Chains A and B, each alone.
Chain A
Amino acid sequence: MKKLIIYIHFLAAAVALQAQEDVYPAKPYAGKLYITNGTIHVGNGQVIENGTIEVNNGKIVQVGANITVAADAKVVDVKGKQVYPGLILPVTDLGLKEIANGVRGSNDFSELGEYNNSIRSIVAYNTDSKIINTLKANGILLAGVTPQGGTISGSSSVVQLDAWNWEDAAYKTDNAIHLNMPTFISRPSRFAVFAGIPQPPTDPAKEALKKVDEIKTIFRQAKVYLQETTHKETNLKLEALKGLFNKTQKLFVHANQVKQMLIAIDFVKEFGFDVVIVGGSESFQIADLLKQYNIAVILEDEHALPTSEDDDIDQPFKTPAQLQKAGVLFALNDEHAESRYRNLPFNAGTAASYGLTKEQALQAITLNAARILGIDDKTGSLEAGKDANIIISEGDILDMRTSIIVHAFIQGRQVSLENKQKQLYDRYKYKYELK
């Protein structure tokens, strides 16, 4: 049995460079690959001790405890380590936003205009973003790259995080249309709240409902437009909504308030769309209702303060467990702009501390996310027929003490875990003569 170590360490280069230009996307791996002796967390709740994964031409062939390793195949022995499906960051501006504040030129995540139905995030996705490699190093291998701005922001696409360019990266293009639900709470100016200045009486609900009516009108127009076989004039905005009606695309509704989510249910009832709530901080209040309409939820921000002063101090932490109990399909996201999305596994870890089992928490960042994004036929769990998107950790990936990724595979390709930050680490270990 050959043990192959392909962990390439460009130490010398790293000392000279600090811009990750020497971190290369992996070449396709043809043939068989075995990952052996690991504790395999399948992603669907199942755990296989001392198991093996057989991969052929980038696809998982079989997963189990008693798999014979073929001769001459590449073998990665992960004895004592934990094996997981590659993590999925479901909704993100990754590759669209490089330097957040103060550098407008680096921002491509938010477009002008109200109804940008035809805007596509994939065309602006920058595979050379320095953020991407830091996510891979924490086990995140796929991301739903999402546009922002306006009421309808456009369509997101799922990318894999080891690519030369966006066409290579595209994993599922235009998987969802994103809608920002109008707010039913008119937030006062921060100045006014602080200064105790009374706010002019407004009726935010009235404004919101007016906007909702506008949105529904667009969907109704799209419906009749799409029923026509020929058009006198082509309307790109209405064309772009086709996937919602033929169910090749989902409608991702960004909403946190109960009233916003109740309106989202209307989109299921009237148009039959596949609706996913993104945000959902208040979803625990209507979990049963969401379940009834098969509305999935992507919880945006697990590490958040409770909404109101009176809320249970652990409310956001335990929201996943409340959705789980109600049977709602949900995924966890990490949109934390300062740590840049790399703490996704720890969001799941917190959910596991507050009511989910560890395997349920894992599923919320793997298989559930794949289902919601519409890629569960290809990934999300370590099951036969799916892409070999696999990560291997020293220990429990949900706990930062032990969450140290040692190998990662995307479609069977063993990808580099190097990144700019590790290179800078090496550079200064060199300066200080540290090992």
Chain B
Amino acid sequence: MRKYCFFPPGKRYFLLGLMYITYLAAKAQVTFPVNGIANPQAKCFAFTNATIVKDVQTTLNNATLVIREGKIVSVGASAAIPKDAVVIDCSGKFIYPSFIDIYGDYGVPVPQRQGPPFDFRAPAQLTSNTKGVFGWNQAIKSEIDAAKLFNTDDAKAKPLRDLGFGAVLTHQKDGIARGTGALVSLATEKENLVMLKERASAHYSLSKGTSTQSYPSSMMGAIALLRQTYLDAQWYKSNPAAEGVNLSLKAWNDNQSLPQIFDAGDKWNDLRADRIGDEFGVQYIIKGGGNEYQRIQDIAATKATYILSLNFPQAMDVEDPNDARFVSLSDMKHWELAPANPAAFEKANIPFCLTASELKDPKQFLANLRKAIEYGLSETKALEALTKTPAIALGVYDKVGSLDAGKVANFIITTGEVFKEKTVILQNWIQGDKYNIKEENWSPIAGTYAIQVKSPAGASNYTLDVKSTSDASIIAKDTIKAKFSYDGKLVTISFPTEKKPRAASIRLGGSVTGDVWNGNGMDADGNPLLWTASLSKAGAPAPDTSKKKMQSPLGKIVYPFNGYGWDSLPKPETILIKNGTVWTNEKEGNLENTDVLIRNGKIAQIGKNLSDANAKVIDATGRYVTPGIIDEHSHIAAASINEGAQSVTSEVRIADNLNPEDINIYRQLSGGVTSSHILHGSANTIGGQTQLIKLRWGANDEDLKFKGADPFIKFALGENVKRTTSQSNNRFPDTRMGVEEVLMDAFTRACEYEKGCKEAPTAAAPASKKKTAVNAAAAPVRRDLELEALVEIMNKKRFITCHSYVQSEITATMRVAEKFNFRVNTFTHILEGYKVADKMKAHGANASTFSDWWAYKTEVQDAIPYNAALMQRVGLNVCINSDDAEMARRLNQEAAKCVKYGGMPEDEAFKTVTLNPAKALHVDDKVGSLKPGKDADVVVWSDHPLSIYAKAEKTIVDGIVYFDRARDLELRKKIAAERNRLVQKMLGEKKSGSPVAPATPSWQVVLSCGDHDHHDGLITVDVNENDANAY
């Protein structure tokens, strides 16, 4: 007998028969009439002598698995074999639960976008194109049920079955709320029977997909829409008459009891999604983006279960240095480290599932999984991620995910341990039916066979050496390569009789039964023959080479994940800056030969001859020491800036989409900037809530925030909000007359909303967006995020920074504010502020302006560079801001232009970028000047801080040196070395024959308010509201 026996004697033909006839009789569904003769089958099978991996913890040797009618009956070493069971000997075979893909869209149609992407210049689509009894926004598709859309599709199922999958959670991947998913098996049966759970999950994302509606046009808009929909749905539970029937909200509520799955797709988005969940008491299962390893601690803190794709980036073709130049270190590092993502989850003890979706070629799945294992993922965890974890996450572990009695008979039979490279999946059984994967490998065919040929010419003998199902040779005086194929049953062999060119061949065809083959054929002269073959020596099993060791060490994870990142996050130090010229911005003025002592992130002392034994000393002899620069108007460090789709979007928050890895944070530190006010853009009259940040390079999004600062909001007036560049504006307003009325209307509604909330917290409130208040006495208040922010303004809990240019609109806006008893905190841009500086002073506004910008559109024709000086002389608190990622690096020089234009005193000029913005932002108790007790946000300059020759040598935030020009020089060397290492590694990948992608430039997205042109570098992509549905 051979070591691996195919069938016990006597059973040989049975399975053979099954192989061909099993699926002639499909499963019968009770209510469906039968056309023909009924064929009821118990379908009972016993799989004996197998190594059964029942679940991740339990492996049974020499065990038996019994299934009946698609369910598992028993599993165990001594499981009884029912009499009617077809017994399949699985000696030497492994049986595993089939895999579960928790993130598919198998059998569900992929919707196509009807119409072009949002274009700011084109007419807006203000209402949903989904007609019917549904909600107001086309991207909220909570009423979609995958179960109703699902169709069995064998062509799509087969590739997944081939990988070992038995069940898929399928849903329509479209929209911000995507409705429900259905758990289906991959059996080729009537839809009714493969549906394991028809409402298995509810799905969400930050992408509006095929929705052509203008709102939301930004990531923060998508987040706001989700938040408001949670609130609307809660309110809808009270059946508010004003809303009528809304099936989207009804479905939303119905879906809440299901597992909630959020397609976030990026490490920062994971955190954003989790925060939405936290707000509404939902723990999402989060579909990640593959870069979570870069911030694994933050990811762990979400306490979510994750879904990970194995879609690792391909190496790029970096032969051409001019192409390679534009591939960032960050992208190359990600290429190197992405396969380590699942291992990072395992190490951090974060539960995760794996999905085959998103792979360009599903066949990569197991290869990529093995790569992940090579990068540290354990095989046990990999199996768990494909079986138990998704089943638990979906609450269907009673049905699938392990081989236990009562569960669905979904399992695979393999030749060995499932993730080993040499292991072959032979069969995939789904709902108790067999699907052939590579059954021909069931019995190893390799070995030496004696062939005896009988033809009219006589008998002859040959020795055949079979290596695999497609490779064999005749061993004689010379070894002659044979043409050989074996499909599990039938074999064909042909070989020349002599080893010389064009020698005639003997051709044999036959069938294989155990170790004995026989059949017929033709000899070299064309005479018919009969032949037999029998095994003389079994082949040795091929050695498993899958345990490759990684050749070279991997690059480090740095924070942020780019060349200028830190190996580990820096901590505050005690720093003594010695002997500099200190500009305090306080009554002490500018002090020569003075020391500044920094301790615990604060300024401890300013004076002469200070000392601290523990301090790191910075010699500032010949240097200038000043407070850090504060940029009142910036658009860096965010994933989106403009929610331009409606005229009032006070519900959106920059804070929801900070991007702490923007390289411009580092670049601006090099210009002495320590705080930036990240504003919403200027696409609409009432824009979004802003976020003041400190440039803590390396921190996560939450830690970037300037803690304890008053909240602000961006407003805008004039050309941008009336969409001057559009030839076909249909969004109100189209004139400055309309802009003023948008403000009047918004605050009028906010007043009534507040009144409603105060008078009867559980009673009437303003109804849905843009509608007048409806008084339905029994209805509870609908919380309105948009109006809430406006109420905060009226209660002086939130403050306005208002983009503005011409004097008419400035005055009109102040008058609106005064009617509602609040003040416009700051007018930004404010290039005609000099014309109404007296009125602004009377109103109590701050001004934040450009030094010398003008003439880039009609409303800046009267802009003058003397504006700042004039406003300051009239008595306004004047700031100079950047609104530009490049210019922010030179704000000290922009401040110096106040000296050039209008003769502002130098120390006053410097205050326009330090103390004055601190005042305008209400943080002058913390920053803006050098005073003991204030935050240690300090810059050491090489020269007079208003001079063009001054460079920030050190920029300190909270007592941490975040930028050091000497360290920067070291980083350049490190970047060059690391780039070269990775380029060489990619070249090696190409040389080894692995497929490579063309070198793709690492596009740098620069966000702007959409106010004016920005200077695009070669690989910079400037995104403003013109393209703003982009996220």
Contact = CB atoms under 8 A, between A and B. Distances in A.
Tell me whether A and B are bound partners: yes
Interface of A: 18, 98-103, 130-131, 184-185, 187-191, 193-196, 201, 256-259, 281-282, 301, 303-310, 312-314, 336-340, 342-343, 346, 349-350, 352-353, 398-401, 403-404, 421-422, 424-425, 428-429, 432, 434
Contact of B1018 (A257, A314, A421, A424): A257
B885 A421 contact: no
Given A99-B857, A309-B1004, A336 B1015 contact: yes
B650 interface: no
Nearest to A394: B900
Given A338-B1013, A399-B896, A432-B873, 5 more contacts: A101-B856, A195-B1029, A346-B948, A400-B900, A403-B900
A434 B871 CA distance: 11
Contacts of B838: 432
A308 B1030 contact: no
B117 interface: yes
A313 B667 contact: yes
A308 B857 CA distance: 30
8 tightest A-B CB contacts, nearest first: A194-B1030, A349-B948, A425-B866, A421-B864, A101-B857, A338-B853, A190-B1027, A102-B724
B947 A399 contact: yes
21 contacts: A99-B857, A100-B855, A101-B724, A193-B1021, A195-B1031, A304-B1015, A307-B326, A310-B979, A338-B856, A338-B1013, A339-B854, A350-B948, A398-B948, A399-B896, A401-B899, A421-B854, A424-B866, A425-B864, A425-B870, A425-B902, A428-B870
Contacts of A339: 852-854
B963 to A, nearest CB: 9
B886 interface: yes
A337 B854 CA distance: 9
Interface stretch (B613-621, B810-818, B995-1003): B995-1003
Nearest to B906: A401
Contact of B562 (A189, A303, A310, A313): A310
B1017 A432 contact: no
A193 B1018 contact: no
B193 interface: no
Given A99-B857, A305-B667, A310-B329, A194 B1023 contact: yes
A100 B725 CA distance: 11
Contacts of A432: 837-838, 870, 873-874
A5 B102 CA distance: 85
A309 B1002 CA distance: 8
A421 B1030 contact: no
Interface in B771-807: none
A102 B857 contact: yes
Contact of B854 (A18, A307, A340, A434): A340
Contact of A281 (B896, B1012, B1013, B1017): B1017
Do most interface residues of chain B lie in helix, strand or loop, or is the interface mixed?
loop
Nearest to B975: A310
A303 B1020 CA distance: 15
Contacts of B855: 98-100, 130-131, 340
B968 interface: yes
A127 to B, nearest CB: 16
B322 A309 contact: no
B325 A308 contact: yes
A308 B837 contact: no
A342 B850 CA distance: 14
Which residue among A314, A337, A338 has the maximum number of chain B CB atoms within 10 Å of its CB? A338
B877 to A, nearest CB: 17
Contact of A201 (B893, B998, B1029): B998
B503 interface: no
Contacts of A310: 328-329, 562-563, 975, 979
Nearest to B664: A305
Interface in B851-892: 852-858, 861-866, 870, 873-874, 885-887, 890
A313 B322 CA distance: 19
Nearest to A404: B900
Contact of B1012 (A131, A185, A337, A400): A337
A296 B782 CA distance: 67
A185 B1013 contact: no
A194 B117 CA distance: 13
A257 B322 contact: yes
B222 to A, nearest CB: 12
B608 to A, nearest CB: 28
B79 interface: no
Nearest to B885: A305
Contacts of A312: 972
Given A349-B949, A401-B896, A185 B1015 contact: no
A87 B423 CA distance: 76
B900 A401 contact: yes
A389 B640 CA distance: 49
A102 B719 contact: yes
Q: Which of the listed residues B664, B948, B1026 has the most CB atoms from chain A within 10 Å of its own CB? A: B948
B830 interface: no
**Max chain B C-beta neighbours (<10 A), residue from A281, A313, A337:** A313
Contacts of A307: 326, 1017-1020
Nearest to A203: B998
Given A187-B1021, A424-B862, A258 B322 contact: yes
Given A338-B850, A338-B1013, A401 B947 contact: yes
A400 B857 CA distance: 25
Contacts of A349: 948-949
B887 A401 contact: no
Contact of A306 (B117, B719, B724, B1017): B1017
A399 B853 contact: no
Contacts of B886: 303-305
Contacts of A304: 886, 1015, 1017
A400 B899 contact: yes
B896 A188 contact: no
A264 to B, nearest CB: 14
A218 B874 CA distance: 62
Contact of A399 (B265, B948, B1004, B1031): B948
Most chain A CB neighbours (cut-off 10 Å) among B670, B896, B906: B896
Nearest to A282: B1018
Nearest to B873: A434
A303 B886 CA distance: 7
Interface string B944-976: 101111010000000000000000100010010
A338 B854 CA distance: 6
Contacts of B1026: 190
A81 B625 CA distance: 30
B924 interface: no
Nearest to A195: B1030
A340 B946 CA distance: 22
A194 B857 contact: no
Contacts of B858: 99, 102-103
A19 to B, nearest CB: 10
Contact of B563 (A100, A188, A196, A309): A309
Tell which of A18, A189, A337, A421 has the most Cβ of chain B within 10 Å. Answer: A421
B955 to A, nearest CB: 12
Contact of A309 (B330, B724, B1029): B330
A307 B947 CA distance: 25
A245 B302 CA distance: 69
Nearest to B562: A309
B663 interface: yes
A400 B887 CA distance: 15
B946 A191 contact: no
A54 to B, nearest CB: 30
B834 interface: yes
B1022 interface: yes
B735 to A, nearest CB: 14
Contacts of B1019: 185, 307-308
Contact of B893 (A98, A400, A421, A434): A400
Contacts of B420: none
